[in-house]
């Protein structure tokens, strides 16, 4: 589902963000990307989303070779990818319902489809009673649920998550993680960058550790730190 071959990337300022990264992720896998700040996790996610291009190497996501992808095809590629962020990135002046509906409107879905799919997905994330609320009227955990609903409403093949629990307290974090697991069980490949040791340790999923832009460790059923 995701394949990186000899991927390197550097930005104008600073050292190389990624050096010769090789990763293979199968359909339906749940992968944690761990590593300290600046280890290259976010760069990796940006490259997978084709927000940026690698200097060297090749990347395949959801059957597309990203460096070969024409710019005008990028939006269509992104429709197969869901993304969530630490800061949720909801539109502040739209209700929970409208935020999710927006993702469908943008890709030209009919009003009828929107009217049936949005309540369904909000029910799935447990927000069916808060559809009309603005993001400012929702808690952090609820906002992230809206963001997940928006990312998942198109049934993407891949879900990329950049520190999705970074702003949440432990209880809320678990709620979000259970949701991501549930999405993963539907066959969606999940790649999640995180700093949260307890999540990684207790979920026992594949762990890829990055350090200064190189893959230090790639372990199935791994934990956050070494020495276990």
- The three-state DSSP-derived secondary structure of 118-143 is HHHHHHHCCCCCCCCCCHHHCCHHHH
Q: Name the DSSP letter for residue 221.
A: T
Q: Which residues contact 32 (CB under 8 A, 6 or more apart)?
A: 192, 193, 194, 199, 200, 203, 205, 206, 207, 208, 222, 224
Q: Which span sits near other proteins by CB under 8 A: 29-37, 83-91, 175-183, 198-206?
A: 83-91
Report residue 223 as tokens.
Answer: 């934990």
Three-state DSSP class for residue 195:
coil
Query: Considering only residues 21, 25, 83, 179, which one is a binding residue for other proteins as defined by CB under 8 A?
Result: 83
Residue nearer to other proteins on the CB measure, 41 or 206 = 41
**Number of residues in contact with other proteins, rule: CB under 8 A?**
26
Q: How far is the CB of 173 from other proteins (least distance, A)?
A: 23
Q: How far is residue 192's CA from residue 114's CA, in Å, rounded to a whole number? A: 28
Q: How far is the CB of 118 from other proteins (least distance, A)?
A: 13
* Per-residue x/- track, 116-155, other proteins (CB under 8 A): ----------------------------------x---x-
Q: How far is residue 211's CA from residue 129's CA, in Å, rounded to a whole number? A: 43
Measured from the Cβ of residue 119, the count of other Cβ atoms closer than 10 Å reads 15
Residue nearer to other proteins on the CB measure, 74 or 134 = 74
Q: Which span sits near other proteins by CB under 8 A: 29-37, 67-75, 136-144, 172-180?
A: 67-75
Q: How far is the CB of 172 from other proteins (least distance, A)?
A: 22
* 78 belongs to the binding site for other proteins (CB under 8 A): yes
Q: Which residues contact 123 (CB under 8 A, 6 or more apart)?
A: none
Q: Which residues contact 63 (CB under 8 A, 6 or more apart)?
A: none
CA atoms 88, 185, 102, 146: torsion sign = negative
* Per-residue x/- track, 93-122, other proteins (CB under 8 A): x--------xx-xxxx--x-----------
* 89 belongs to the binding site for other proteins (CB under 8 A): yes
Q: How far is the CB of 190 from other proteins (least distance, A)?
A: 17
Q: How far is the CB of 92 from other proteins (least distance, A)?
A: 8
Contact set with other proteins (CB under 8 A): 49-51, 71-72, 74-79, 83, 89-93, 102-103, 105-108, 111, 150, 154
């Amino acid at each position: 589902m995701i394949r990186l071959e000899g991927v390197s990337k550097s930005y104008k300022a600073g050292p190389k963000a990624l050096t010769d990264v090789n990763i293979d992720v199968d359909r339906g896998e749940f992968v944690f990307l761990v590593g300290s700040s600046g280890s290259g996790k976010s760069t990796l996610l940006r490259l997978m989303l084709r927000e940026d291009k690698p200097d060297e190497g090749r990347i395949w996501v959801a059957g597309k070779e990203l460096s070969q992808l024409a710019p005008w095809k990028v939006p269509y590629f992104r429709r197969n990818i869901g993304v969530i962020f630490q800061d949720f990135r909801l539109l502040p002046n739209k209700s929970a319902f409208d935020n999710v509906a927006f993702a469908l409107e943008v890709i030209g879905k009919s009003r009828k489809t929107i009217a049936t799919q949005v309540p369904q997905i909000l029910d799935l994330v447990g927000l069916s009673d808060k559809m009309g609320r603005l993001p400012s009227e929702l808690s952090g955990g609820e906002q992230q649920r809206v963001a997940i609903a928006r990312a998942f409403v198109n049934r993407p093949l891949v879900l990329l998550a950049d520190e999705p629990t970074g702003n949440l307290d432990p209880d809320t974090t678990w709620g979000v993680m259970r949701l991501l697991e549930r999405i993963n069980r539907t066959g969606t490949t999940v790649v999640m960058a995180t700093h949260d040791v307890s999540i990684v340790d207790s979920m026992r999923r594949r762990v890829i550790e990055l350090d200064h832009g190189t893959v230090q460790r790639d372990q199935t059923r791994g934990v956050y730190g070494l020495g276990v």
